[in-house]
Structure 1
Amino acid sequence: MRMICSSNMKLSAGLILLLHSLGIVAQFVHDITYIVGCFEDTTTIAQYEFDGEEILYVDFDRQQVVYTIPPYLVPDPVHVFGDLHVYRNALKARRACAGVVAYCKVEGIHPEEVKDPPESFIYPEDEVILGLENSLICFVNHFYPPSINVSWTKNGLPVSEGMSLSQYYPNSDQTFHRFSMLTFTPSEGDVYSCTVEHSALDTPKTRIWDVEFPKSHQSLIADVYCGVGLSLGLLGVAVGTFLIVKGQYH
């Protein structure tokens, strides 16, 4: 068990890291990392990573362990991680976080918190097709500390049905990112917005996305026929004019 609480980190209190090495065969060694993040605002994150990729995290609000490992690698991860008592140990770590924060302050190695404002982007999960259910994704990135609020509107009115919010994911630069998804059925002319609130922002940041459909196949065919007909008509006028002019000189 190792506690890191250094002045060159952005974390309010620090990270508790538990590192393991798992040798599958002699020439391959992998790292399984258990991370617990403690923050002054009482936020706590707990997750396992395999070679730097998240495989599970603890959702304290829903009181459960969420497995993010691909099912084709581990069909039933509960059988693999069940004996590790992940949720029970995460609760113990969460209770210990207050002590970690206090320790860092007493030792004088608690850095002044540097806040980073979030960037946000909004885009559909799949190709937008009229009347076909889809999801809008609001990707919020590079923010610190890990405490944000995300809200949605449809045509200017607040909407929460069909909305989901991921956990906080750490970036390599010690900032965080998070996803919010909104299930919707696209209709021509609808306008959606995603608003992000964060302590590093003077005012909330809003991104807008409106439903636009490309011309249908039938519409494109009609345009082509119209264009061809117009071209032939102009060609006929040009040929007729040429013959009339030519006839005047004979």
Structure 2
Amino acid sequence: MKPYCSQTMKSSSLLILMLNTFCASTQIPHEIVYVVGCYENSTTEVQFEFDSEEILHVDFERQEVVYNVPPLFVVNPSEVFSDLHVYKNALKAKRTCAIALSFLKFEEKEIHPEEAKDPPESILYPAEEVQLGVENTLTCFVNHFYPPYIKVSWTKNDLPVSEGVSLGQYYPNDDQTFHTFSTLEFTPREGDIYSCTVEHLALERPQTRIWQPEFSHPSLGPDVFCGVGLTLGFLGVAVGTFLMVKGHHGHK
């Protein structure tokens, strides 16, 4: 008889396999394996295998042993395993599973402590000077976050936007955090409101930045002053001409 023990992690469930094997004393050697599977969701599986084929498993819900006889297995397994108290021992294995899982979880926590998390900072700005109706790029700069995974989403006037959106690679900072850029291609219009929302493990709630285009309208001052000056100029010429004409007639 030789013992074998292994453990594996898959789909967030921890599985412990405890296998005991031996060869039956017959003309042809065979292998019988006893398997106990312990999962993080508190379920336990117990089964026997004969030459890699299951011959029985324990159904804890029905509180019974279920036999599956392979085609080449000529002996009734219920008779072979009647003295082994399969179900009673399976209950003991189930209790042992709970203890083993608690120990392994503690060991895992000691070996791999929880990673530190740094929340991101974000700012929102246009790439070029904003002009009405002229295509531009809006940049959402996200900085100083760890671990290097974020989700960035955009809205225009409170509606989700996906067209023209891109997310860059993660670039390391000197303090072992990361930064990245997300961009949105857009054409500025009066009254439009844009937002960039960042989601990260270190944030209790999504972080949103809002931006609204501002347009500089040309001043009317110089044109008004020019028009007023030109009018006064013409008025001065007219007054001067009137006085000249009146003086000329006076001398007559």
TM-score range, shorter chain: 0.3 to 0.5
| TM-score, normalised by the number of residues in structure 1 | 0.45
State the structure with more CA Rg.
Answer: 2
Higher relative contact order (CA 8 A, sep 6+): 1
